[in-house]
Structure 1
Amino acid sequence: MMIVMKEGATEAQIAEVVERVESVGARAHVSRGEFVTVIGAVGSHDDEVAGLGLEDHPAVDRVVPILRPYKLASAQFRHGEPTVVEVEGRRIGGDHFAVIAGPCTVESRETMLEAARAMRDAGAHLLRGGAYKPRTSPYSFQGLGEAGLALLREAKEETGLPIVTEVMDVRDVERVVEVADVVQLGARNMQNYNLLTEVGRAGKPVLLKRGLAATLDELLMAAEYVLKEGNPNVILCERGIRTFESSYRFTLDIMAVPVLKELTHLPVIVDPSHAAGRRSLVEPLSLAAAAAGADGLIVEVHPNPDAAVCDGPQQLRAETFAEYLKRVEQAAELAGKVIQAGV
């Protein structure tokens, strides 16, 4: 249930409506827009909320049922206004386009700092790097863990780039959020509901990747787990899905970008690196995503991909990243996005 307050509703009136919603056991989530405040009543109490007669409250404009199974992630909840996630002055969503770039994994101090400097100099907005890595084989490199987090912290101190890194285990949430400015939940953890809940409670912006075989409704229901904990800053990421096609690693679902824009108010970015699996496809997929209206990209870039510990064939070369970024931003501008300056 969505309660749309009248323009000019006071804090006292909003608090009164919240109290009435919670009195029947529902959870109230307040979303303040530029002109209008919306209160989402979430839980299995729609009949009780409907029976409160809130339509007659002097500060309530209307009460609207949200028909989608995901309530807080629904486009209805924000009354058509997109969520913009701001990370240390960098904006993702709405009219803003941002690029998150860096190596697949934190390998060494020298490589991480070299990559961070290159991303800063080229104009990237945020820096990615995996301290913990989910790998198909248990014998593959699993990341440096806490040592990797320390290197990410050092990279931020030197370059000023906010950090995006993945958490894989509820036991690591606390140490990851001490370093990460955006906490990433990978495709294989999209439906790890305990982890989603704990990350939602941590309060940091969350980058949520679509699962390898997940529908868009399932992705949005996963986002709901974070949102219901009072964390409104969720960024959705399309990273390719598993289909019958075997000519490339995954099928990048470009159509997911405009469809998600219809279904949700949350920002939508694209990961062309993991979809492609090879360097030559990353730029075409990036251009397609930008032209389709994506709010940004998360892309893998390495100073020496041929020597990378993992995913070398799909990582862009740092020396060519600035030119790649320029072309991608031109495509985003054609789609109506505002290009923000780098650091």
Structure 2
Amino acid sequence: MIIKIRQDAEKERLTEFLDGLTKLNTVFQFEEDIRIITLMKFSDSVMGLVRKTSVVEEMLPANKAFVLASKHRFKPKSTVRLSKDIEFGGRDIVLIAGPCSVETEEQMMQSAKAVKDAGASILRGGAFKPRTSPYDFQGLGESGLKFIRKAANKHGLKVITEILDPRHVDLVNRYTDIFQVGTRNMQNFELLKELGKMRKPVLLKRGMGVVYKEWLGAAEYILAGGNKEVILCERGIRTFVADTRFTFDINAIPYIKKVSHLPIVADPSHSTGNWHFVKDIAMAAVAAGADGLIIDAHPEPQKSWVDKDQAIDFKTLKDIIKRSNRIAKIVRN
């Protein structure tokens, strides 16, 4: 349930109403800036309280599964701002690029310079890697975090990196500007709860086998913890198609725009698993309304330690960014 508070509501009466909700064991969030109270869990007694107060202007129903993530008349759209020039869901698309995995300090320095020159504003790179086999490269850990942070700082970029374990939240927080939750951890609820306590953006990738409701439900865990800065990411789903690594679900972008106020970006690299298709999927995603792209780019793609088949070179990245910005100017005006 969504409650709109009157602009002229007396502060004393509003405080009484909020206290009344608390006494009824109501789980709610009050966004004072937009005068909205979102009820996540409440009893029938709340309606009696609403009828007695003078502070309520209007009430709206909301999807119980993801009430905080739901789009409604009072909150049609939200943005996540990193700086004056970087805003997910804003006028321009946000470009994120870099290698799938942090390998060496030199590699990250080369990548950061190339990413900056190509026109992206956020450097990606994994220091902790979830791998299908326990014998595959798992990431450099804190050394990798230091490499990506140093490279980003030198070239004036922000950092996004993956978080796998609730025990690593404080460590990763010291180095990153955005937490990335990968497809395999989308329903790691203990991790989502910990990220809900942070006041730093979280990019939540869609699980490879989940429906939209489950994806938004995962976002709800973060929002319910008090962290309002959630960015969704469509990264492909597993289907009967065996010719690409996954199938990019273009429907996800307009669907999320219809039911949720959260910004959404696209990952054309993991969704295809093949560098030949990255450019086309990237442009299609922007045309469908994606608020940004996260792309796997490497100084020497065929020497990449992880997912080399999907990595593009930086010349291709520059071309993708140039074309995507052109498309964005058309569809976002």
Task: Identify whether the pair has TM-score above 0.5, normalized to the shorter chain.
Answer: yes
Distance 1:159 1:55, change over 3 A: farther
Aligned to 1:72: 68
Aligned to 1:81: 76
* Aligned-residue identity in percent: 42
- 4+ runs of 1 displaced by more than 6 Å? none
* Native 8 Å contact 1:163 1:182 kept in 2: yes
**What secondary structure is seen at the aligned counterpart in 2 of 1:164?**
strand
Distance 1:202 1:249, change over 3 A: same
**What secondary structure is seen at the aligned counterpart in 2 of 1:86?**
strand
State yes or no: 1:298 paired with 2:294: yes
- 55-64 or 320-329, larger mean C-alpha shift: 55-64
- 234-243 or 117-126, larger mean C-alpha shift: 117-126
* Native 8 Å contact 2:127 2:142 kept in 1: yes
Measured against aligned partners, the alpha-carbon deviations of 1:143-169 in whole angstroms (never above 9, x if no partner) come to: 101100111220122012111001001
State yes or no: 1:281 paired with 2:277: yes
Q: CA deviation at 1:60?
A: 1.7
Q: Distance in 2 between matches of 1:318 and 1:183?
A: 24
**What secondary structure is seen at the aligned counterpart in 1 of 2:248?**
coil
* Native 8 Å contact 2:92 2:328 kept in 1: no
Q: CA deviation at 1:14?
A: 4.5
Which of 93, 105, 111 aligns to 2:107? It is 111
Distance 1:46 1:155, change over 3 A: farther
Distance 1:51 1:269, change over 3 A: same
**What secondary structure is seen at the aligned counterpart in 1 of 2:78?**
coil
Distance 1:250 1:11, change over 3 A: farther
* Native 8 Å contact 1:55 1:63 kept in 2: no
Which of 204, 211, 231 aligns to 1:215? It is 211
Q: Report the AA paired with residue 157 of structure 1.
A: N
Distance 1:23 1:324, change over 3 A: same
Aligned to 1:340: none
Which of 30, 34, 37 aligns to 2:35? It is 37
Aligned to 1:341: none
Q: Report the AA paired with residue 135 of structure 1.
A: R
Alignment: residue pair count: 332
* Native 8 Å contact 2:24 2:43 kept in 1: no
Aligned to 1:164: 160
**What secondary structure is seen at the aligned counterpart in 2 of 1:104?**
coil
Q: Report the AA paired with residue 17 of structure 2.
A: V
Q: Distance in 1 between matches of 2:170 and 2:124?
A: 19
Q: CA deviation at 1:19?
A: 2.4
Q: CA deviation at 1:303?
A: 1.0
Q: Report the AA paired with residue 240 of structure 1.
A: G
* Native 8 Å contact 2:267 2:294 kept in 1: yes
Distance 1:6 1:114, change over 3 A: same
**What secondary structure is seen at the aligned counterpart in 1 of 2:97?**
strand
Q: Distance in 2 between matches of 1:188 and 1:107?
A: 22
- 5-14 or 176-185, larger mean C-alpha shift: 5-14
State yes or no: 1:321 paired with 2:317: yes
- Give the TM-score taking structure 2 as reference length: 0.95
- Give the TM-score taking structure 1 as reference length: 0.92
Q: CA deviation at 1:96?
A: 3.5
Q: Distance in 1 between matches of 2:18 and 2:313?
A: 52
* Native 8 Å contact 1:240 1:252 kept in 2: yes
Q: Report the AA paired with residue 39 of structure 2.
A: A
Distance 1:82 1:12, change over 3 A: farther
State yes or no: 1:131 paired with 2:131: no
Give structure 2 stretches of 5+ with no counterpart.
none
Distance 1:72 1:254, change over 3 A: same
Q: Report the AA paired with residue 46 of structure 2.
A: V
Measured against aligned partners, the alpha-carbon deviations of 1:152-208 in whole angstroms (never above 9, x if no partner) come to: 220122012111001001111110011111100000001110010011112211000
Q: Distance in 1 between matches of 2:10 and 2:315?
A: 54
* Native 8 Å contact 1:303 1:319 kept in 2: no
Aligned to 2:259: 263
**What secondary structure is seen at the aligned counterpart in 2 of 1:28?**
strand
Distance 1:159 1:14, change over 3 A: farther
